[in-house]
Amino acid sequence: MDISIIFKIAAVGILISVLNQVLDRAGREEQAMLTTLAGLVVVLFWVIHYISDLFTEVQQLFQL
Amino acid sequence: MEIVQIVIIGLCAVIFIAVLDKHKEFGVYLRIVTGVIMFFIFIDKFDSIIILFNKLNALMNIDDMYMKILFQILGIAFVTEFGSQLCKDSGEKSIASNIEIAGRIIILVLSAPIVLGIINLIESIM
């Protein structure tokens, strides 16, 4: 279980918030919203693997 | 020495959640991932506990069914706690309480045979 995922998520989050600010200032609120959503979907794919690992491990460990 | 590792990971996550305060969604992701990573750190310790329980079981020749139910209840309690605390942290207290109620009901259902066993035991003594 590598810890780099935390830093990856934080990096994507910071990038998204910066992009959001820039696009807001440029008057394109829709694109800002879309970039936020895109960032969320990317991070969701990463996180889903971790969640499925957790639940399969718990099931296997506790013989659920 | 894993405890130092866990605390450092937790503090890093807290800092990143504070940084990403404007976008709450990333905070939720960070909480989930931190919880999963910490689980995988202390999971190795748990195997030794299971071995200990099996040894105890062999010594006291308790019926294997009770030990199996005990572990299932432990697993359900852990998952329920994991989910409900995450929801509470994200500010959704009602969803958290729903998860806790569901967890308690499942544990109650699982522990039914144990209760019956105890009652039979008491009847046999009396």
Mean pLDDT estimate for chain A: 92
Give DSSP secondary structure letters for B40-98.
HHHHHHHHHHHHHHHHHHHHHT--HHHHHHHHHHHHHHHHHHHHHHHHHHTT-HHHHHH
Residue B24, SS3? helix
Q: What does the alpha-carbon distance between residue B39 and residue A50 come to, in Å, rounded to a whole number?
A: 11
Nearest-by-CA chain B residue for A3: B37
The predicted model scores a pTM of 0.87
Assess B20–A contact: CB distance below 8 Å, yes or no: yes
Prediction ipTM score: 0.89
pLDDT in tens, A19-29: 999 999 999 99
Please give, rounded to a whole number of angstroms, the shortest distance from the CA of B19 to a CA of chain A.
Answer: 8
pLDDT in tens, B84-110: 999 999 999 999 999 999 999 999 999
- The structural domains of chain A, with segments of one domain joined by +, span 4-62
Helix axes B64-89, B112-125, angle to 10 degrees: 140
Q: Note the pLDDT of residue A44.
A: 95
Please give, rounded to a whole number of angstroms, the shortest distance from the CA of B20 to a CA of chain A.
Answer: 6
Reported as a pLDDT band with limits 50, 70 and 90, residue A39 is very high
What is the pLDDT tens value at each position of chain B, 126 positions in all?
Answer: 789 999 999 999 999 999 998 888 999 999 999 999 999 988 888 888 888 888 888 888 777 788 888 889 999 999 999 999 999 999 999 999 999 999 999 999 999 988 998 899 899 998
Q: Note the pLDDT of residue B32.
A: 94
Nearest-by-CA chain A residue for B15: A10
